[in-house]
Amino acid sequence: MNEILNRLSGVKSVGREHYLALCPCHDDHRPSLDIAVKNNKILMCCPVCGADGVKVMQTLGLNARDLFDDSKCERPERPASVDYYYSDKLKKTRFYVWDDKTQGWSKSFCWYHKGERGQQVKGLPKDSDGRSLSPPLYHQEFLIVARERQETVYIAEGEKDVNTLVRLGRLAVCSPHGAGKGRLENKWPKAYSALFEGLDVVILHDNDEAGLNLAQYVAGQLHPVAKSVRLPDLTAEWSDLPEKGDISDIAERSSKKDTNARLDQLIENTELWQLPHEKSP
């Protein structure tokens, strides 16, 4: 094991005989190579580029014979990675890394963009000063469609929920920054708000405090520019929605017709969002 770790960069211990390191099989800037010892076998896999222990050993110039086990730590099968395309040159990949604390797969994200020669480059594209460019909204083009058709546009918390709403026949977008840790103004930059001028907007957040906080912040930013803003509470219609549940969870257990009918009714029963000082006593 020491011989392997000595040849890797960015090695850090994350548990007993469990390490993360920079993967030598791709241009890795955040340790993504998972290394562990199980039943006297050294197990390695990279969820970002898909490299297994054999490929890593070959890249390091070491002999891979008898070191690895196809069971890969006998863990539950890793969920499949998903690509969310923000444009034909920019995508955000959702992948999973094993979490020893929860003994489960933890969700993570990584950006990729096309380089000058069409090659895939990890990270966001950069400007002439080397600073990362801010990504657009996911499916930002739907704002143009909503304005042309005079239709309501939905703001979801993440890309998965946007795709769910699109399957339900609705125009939807989301911020690329999610509702996790961080400053709200960084999750919803002011430049996004101007894009909603004159539009009817419905904000659908996950059933948790972080989602509600972001939704309230976005509503406050859109209130001066949008034609209308509604922030329905999904639990008012689906009282059994679990904590952190979302519109995707609802759509998975209901028919398209039922989900649409109940969502329309919920939105109709939701008052227009107002600033606190504007609300009637």
Whole-model pTM over 0.85: no
- Better-scored residue on pLDDT, 249 or 15: 249
Band (37; pLDDT cuts 50, 70, 90): confident
Q: Which spans in 73-208 are helix H?
A: 142-149, 159-167, 184-187, 190-193
* CA–CA distances in Å: residue 31 to residues 58, 61, 103: 19, 20, 19
- The Cα 160–Cα 138 span in angstroms is 10
pLDDT tens string 143-176? 999 999 999 999 999 999 999 999 999 999 999 9
**For position 71, what pLDDT does the model report?**
42
All residues at 6 or more sequence positions from 19 whose CB lies less than 8 Å from its CB, including other chains: 5, 11, 12, 13, 35, 36
pLDDT tens string 200-255? 999 999 999 999 999 999 999 999 999 999 999 999 999 999 999 999 999 999 99
- The Cα 29–Cα 271 span in angstroms is 47
The arithmetic mean of pLDDT across residues 187-205, rounded, is 97
All residues at 6 or more sequence positions from 231 whose CB lies less than 8 Å from its CB, including other chains: 202, 203, 205, 215, 216, 219, 270, 273
All residues at 6 or more sequence positions from 102 whose CB lies less than 8 Å from its CB, including other chains: none
**Domains of the chain (ranges, CATH numbers):** 2-70 (3.90.580.10), 82-122 (no CATH), 142-278 (3.40.1360.10)
**For position 73, what pLDDT does the model report?**
41
- The Cα 200–Cα 226 span in angstroms is 6
**For position 70, what pLDDT does the model report?**
43
Block residue for tokens 């548990």:
15
Say if residue 68's pLDDT is above 80.
no
Sheet (strand 18-22) strand order:
9-15, 18-22, 33-38, 41-45
The arithmetic mean of pLDDT across residues 178-200, rounded, is 94
pLDDT tens string 125-145? 999 899 999 999 999 999 999
The arithmetic mean of pLDDT across residues 27-45, rounded, is 86
pLDDT tens string 104-117? 888 899 999 999 88
